[in-house]
């Protein structure tokens, strides 16, 4: 039977530390860090994520600004808003909630975020720093995964890790982060042949592909560690990318959905906002 990795517990510990850090910042600088969240349109999942991010800011004393733009807004309008936030010295972090509408060139928007306000770690400069293992701002969900592994004393050095999903928000940056932590990483995706052969020979499996209950018990070895990043809504229920009920007895650790990686993403966003504040107030 597996140990359930409690992302709520770990994220609350992180948030408590951030709250203390924010108090110290207010004492020293006379102001709290400020995060700006830009949301385009009304994607229901994005609305919930943004609401959770703002709520979390409030809880730890981080100021937040919401910029809500209509679905039909032009790329130029979005760019104008980002440039305003980029030039505003009172804004320490900028997050553009993804996905953006299809007609919008996502990269050209993200590249307008200054490197030191890029709380998502998505700009080319921060990605390059991750590739080079030179610090920088690391994307929130991958940071959350690594912090969960650390909290539970799960070794990564020399371990075989399979990551399923190669997104810029999770799979790709996580593959770099874990490589930097001396894991041997296989990054699997929709064109990977015989995924089960790879996952069965892995010590740690990270699912980040967005397919409900994709990872079945015949795809994992006994005592594997399962990190499930998926958040899928089916019939009013939230389920992950792993078939939790059927693999629970076989594996040694597993993250639940909800209550695993999700809360960690939000906690790491707060962490990155404080980090950006310090970079700007050196």
Interacting residues with ligand GUN (CB under 6 A):
49, 95-98, 120, 140-141, 169, 265
Which pairing describes strands 237-239 and 232-234: parallel, antiparallel, or unpaired?
antiparallel
Minimum distance from residue 43 beta carbon to ligand GUN (Å): 9
Q: What angle do CA 194, 185, 106 make, to 5 degrees?
A: 90
Q: Name the residue number minimizing CB distance to ligand GUN.
A: 98
Residue with smaller CB distance to ligand GUN, 7 or 203: 7
Q: How far apart are the first and last CA of the chain?
A: 48
Take residue 69 and report the two structure tokens written for it.
Answer: 């733009």
- Report the nearest approach of ligand GUN to the CB of residue 265 (Å): 5
Q: How far apart are CA 81 and CA 72, in angstroms?
A: 15
The CB-of-53 to ligand GUN minimum distance in angstroms stands at 9
* Helix locations, 152-228, DSSP H: 171-180, 195-200
CB of 107 to ligand GUN, least distance (A): 13
Nearer to ligand GUN, 34 or 97 (CB): 97
Could you give the residue numbers annotated as active site?
53, 97, 120
Select 186 or 265, whichever has its Cβ closest to ligand GUN.
265
Whole-angstrom Cα distance, residue 173 to residue 16?
26
Q: Whose Cβ is closer to ligand GUN: residue 123's or residue 156's?
A: 123
Let me know if 69 is exposed, middle or buried by CB neighbors in 10 A (0-12, 13-18, 19+): middle
């Amino acid at each position: 039977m597996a140990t359930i990795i409690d992302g709520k517990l770990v994220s609350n510990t992180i948030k408590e530390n951030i709250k203390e850090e924010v108090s110290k910042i207010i004492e020293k600088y006379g102001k709290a860090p400020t995060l700006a969240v830009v949301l385009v349109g009304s994607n229901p999942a994005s609305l919930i994520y943004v609401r959770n991010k703002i709520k979390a800011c409030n809880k730890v004393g981080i100021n937040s600004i919401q910029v809500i733009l209509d679905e039909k807004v032009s790329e130029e309008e979005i760019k104008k808003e980002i440039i305003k936030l980029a030039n505003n010295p009172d804004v320490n972090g900028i997050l553009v909630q993804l996905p953006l509408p299809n007609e919008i060139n996502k990269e050209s928007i993200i590249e307008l975020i200054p490197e030191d306000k890029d709380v998502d770690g998505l700009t080319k400069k921060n990605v390059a720093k991750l590739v080079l293992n030179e610090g920088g701002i690391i994307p929130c969900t991958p940071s959350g995964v690594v912090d969960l592994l650390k909290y539970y004393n799960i070794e990564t050095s020399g371990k075989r890790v399979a990551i399923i999903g190669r997104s810029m928000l999770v799979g790709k940056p996580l593959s770099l982060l874990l490589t930097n932590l001396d894991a041997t990483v296989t990054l699997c995706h929709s064109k990977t042949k015989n995924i089960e052969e790879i996952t069965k020979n892995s010590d740690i499996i990270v699912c980040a592909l967005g397919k409900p209950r994709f990872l079945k018990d015949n795809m994992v070895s006994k005592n594997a560690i399962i990190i499930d990043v998926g958040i899928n809504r089916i019939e009013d229920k939230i389920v992950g990318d792993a078939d939790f009920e059927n693999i629970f007895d076989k594996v040694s650790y597993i993250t639940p959905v909800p209550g695993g990686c999700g809360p960690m993403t939000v906690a790491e966003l707060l962490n990155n906002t404080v980090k950006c504040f310090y970079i700007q107030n050196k």
